[in-house]
Amino acid sequence: MIERLKKYQFLFEELVKRDFKKKYKRTVLGMGWSMLSPLLMLLVMKVVFEQFFGRTVNHYTTYLFCGLLTFGWFAESTGVGMRSLFANAGIFTKVNVPKYLFLLAVNIQVLINFALTLLVFFAFCAYDRVPFTWKFVFLLYPIATLLVFNIGVGMILSALFIFFRDIDYLWSVALQLAMYGSAIFYTVDNFPPRIQAVFACNPVYRHIAYIREVVLAGTIPSAETHLTLLGFAAAALLAGAWMYKHYNTKFLYYV
């Protein structure tokens, strides 16, 4: 795969540039929206939920920002990833190129947006007087596994979208359920153990919990947590790669 990426490096770079420019075309703030949008959402959710949950959670603004930042990346990555293959049908139906290039390109563009917002998040941590420790280095791990997970889910969704356009509407509903099931603005501590076990099966929640543990608790998650995140990422990527390989030739007949 790395060799093929090198072979099509120029095309890949041009796709990333195109997607990046398209996102901010005819906007006044341009890249500023990458930071302003999550901040506005943070403000709304803080006003709405702080009175209900903020009194029992230390550094509630940072706690809330962890959830919004992580879930926002997942939602945007999978959303644009779902349409990436269909949107580039005019290219791969005429030129024989690896179809996963389009998905990787949009994920790089979304990753850049996430990195910009992450800088704002660290500024909020400092403002909220969250202690910075060397353990913040471990944040690279959930970022890497969630990136792979997003790519895998994007491959699955983009393949399904070619055959079933309804997947767009179904995924929007699934994202709503995933958002409320990711404990973005509340804690799961008061839920019964069996309900907490359900939360533990949610890959997005597990990534959010990992980041909160490092940032707010100042501890390194367990080996079981690391293996679980790796398992989620590997399972999604393998499933997506299988669908791309299995339906590779059929894509041409449905776009």
Q: What is the pLDDT of residues 61-91, one digit of tens each?
A: 899 889 999 999 999 999 999 999 888 888 8
CA pair distance 16, 80, nearest whole angstrom = 13
Nearest to 81 by CA among 109, 112, 118: 109
Q: Which residue has the higher pLDDT, 60 or 47?
A: 60
Nearest to 206 by CA among 185, 190, 224, 219: 224
Q: Which residue has the higher pLDDT, 92 or 104?
A: 104
Most confident among 79-83, 109-113, 145-149, 195-199 (mean pLDDT)? 145-149
Beta-carbon neighbour count of residue 245 at 10 Å?
Answer: 9
Query: From residue 169, how far is each of 71, 161, 165, 252 by CA, in Å?
Result: 18, 10, 8, 23
Q: Which residue has the higher pLDDT, 106 or 145?
A: 145
**Mean pLDDT, rounded, for 143-150:** 97
Number of structural domains found in the chain? 1
pLDDT per position as a tens digit, 49-69: 666 666 677 888 899 889 999
CA angle 92, 168, 8 (to 5 degrees): 25
Beta-carbon neighbour count of residue 105 at 10 Å?
Answer: 23
Q: What is the mean pLDDT of the chain?
A: 85
**Mean pLDDT, rounded, for 177-197:** 90
Strand ranges in the chain using DSSP code E only, listed in sequence order: none
Tell me, yes or no, if the pTM score tops 0.75.
Answer: yes
Which uninterrupted H or E stretch holds 82?
A: helix 60-87
Find the domain containing 240 and state its range. 2-254
**Mean pLDDT, rounded, for 13-42:** 64
pLDDT at residue 22 in the model: 67
CA pair distance 164, 158, nearest whole angstrom = 10
pLDDT at residue 29 in the model: 52
Chain CA centroid to CA 59, Å: 23
Q: Which residue has the higher pLDDT, 43 or 162?
A: 162
Beta-carbon neighbour count of residue 20 at 10 Å?
Answer: 18
**Mean pLDDT, rounded, for 6-23:** 67
